[in-house]
A and B are shown apart, each in its own frame.
Chain A
């Protein structure tokens, strides 16, 4: 086996922080090398050095056995290294071909773009590597998975041999992720080499040939999937024993807190996104809502929380119909909501933590007296919550935007869980978080359940739903296909239902 890439003793300091501390990494030809670490461990810094966005303070980079100085992304591409960023760098209103050509234009007569030649080349690449995509489609019309394929094609078009994939599965559905893994294997069979950055343990074990774990800027160890398991990797990542499984006593469900009956909700394009759904969530239980993203979960949650009008049907919260009520009314009735997108909906990033922690109680006593905000009370509340929910921040006055993702989520959890709510909607509560934060938030959810709160957990992560739910409702194309007891059902069964197989067929298939 030949080594295509070697990083030796890479060190990078930022003011006050040692982001990379003498990191060594070796990538073999045709291998998938997983780089595993928590958010902020230094993975991205390392890759940005390799990609030419940062210069290392110490250390050297060998590509194909030769020393390389990489000062810019152009240098790295000409050395055969390409990167797919977590947030895609595509122009939505351009076609796939135009996006791929961008910066490496195929010209005719030195003046005109030769779209056809480029499109043919793209078609060839997509056939060769099984990267299904239409060269003439507009990027804005493509699914997230397809957009990611375009990003990969961009690299292959530029003849990259080493591909860096930065958290590629964070934005994908489980199915899309599986497709991506197939593509990755296809690539390595054709002698491409891949660095796969992630913090999801299962994926690493599924797909990687080699694993390097880094923590606090240092390499903790290098291993292979054969020698490691999830537990071991997790403790390497976090630096302590991690409970991958939440300790959960059997639920003691009581009276229903939320009753949804024959609910229909339209999406932004006035299509029926939630189609005649009925279910209930009871006090002291977690109802998990499984389903591939885009099957109406978002619209359902928005209807329940007052952010979207309902079309038909009723939603009863603690006996009161809340369909088409304002979010404030619903909150005041005793509902809490962890929104799907914390930065879009859950926080005001430019506001200090103090204000974010009072975002939906600021107008009530003791936070307001008459019309006047009680800053001292708000500060005390913030300091208490920061301590109780272990938010890592320099101070309560720090803007929420300068916290890490995990800590931002903790701010939301602190705010929503500290109110006396009888019902909680948790929508993708651990999206994009690292193992430590996930563990924390899962435990908090179970604790809330044990205190007698009804929890509706919505997540496209099947593992998460299986792990936490007392009952699992599966949503497919706007309907709830089936509601199953959480402890008895198998992952395969839920997976089949998520894919649209009817409950009877799924049962018989599962029985075999």
Chain B
């Protein structure tokens, strides 16, 4: 049994979660964890340890691929996510991907409210403007793009595009934000900007951050998970885990013996 954090009123509760790509090949095995509300939880581990697979279970992205089998339960605010409609769930659990992926045919403004458009939610003009402005201010992109809101999003730099994608995710005002190695394709300056921004966003959203960059986890996360070969090896407060890892595998990873 893995070491686990005790958290009151967790936003997400994972129970006995296993995910298999093929019949017996488990990518993620028997995960039990509670995720703290309005905090940054980092999921670390070497390549192929299942951290992205775990993350994608939270908004049921695996259902796009029929060969992936998921067992176990995830509760969002106490409700089983499988009982919710994907539309409802994905409104509450936003996702940002490894590589910036703004919609290439939409301008910046439309990209931010794409979630509303794609779900056929019609808004009044001033409501839309408000949502776009708030989301872009939250991701510190507003000052850079306020004069070019109707230009294509693909003309922005990589870091700006990634912040645009985060804006697109938070425009729905979700409870949880899933970030799958959001800075791995970016330069250090853009990375620093996004990290600062995430610390700000923490006040309003629960953030789950997959990263293979240990220093990033140490810099911005409150809690950390360490995964290895599909198992959750250790889960604890980031400070404790980095200074005093309980499991020898965690220690080995953190000191750079493998990974």
Are A and B bound to each other?
A: no
Seen from chain B, the residues whose Cβ lies within 8 Å of a Cβ on chain A are none
Seen from chain A, the residues whose Cβ lies within 8 Å of a Cβ on chain B are none
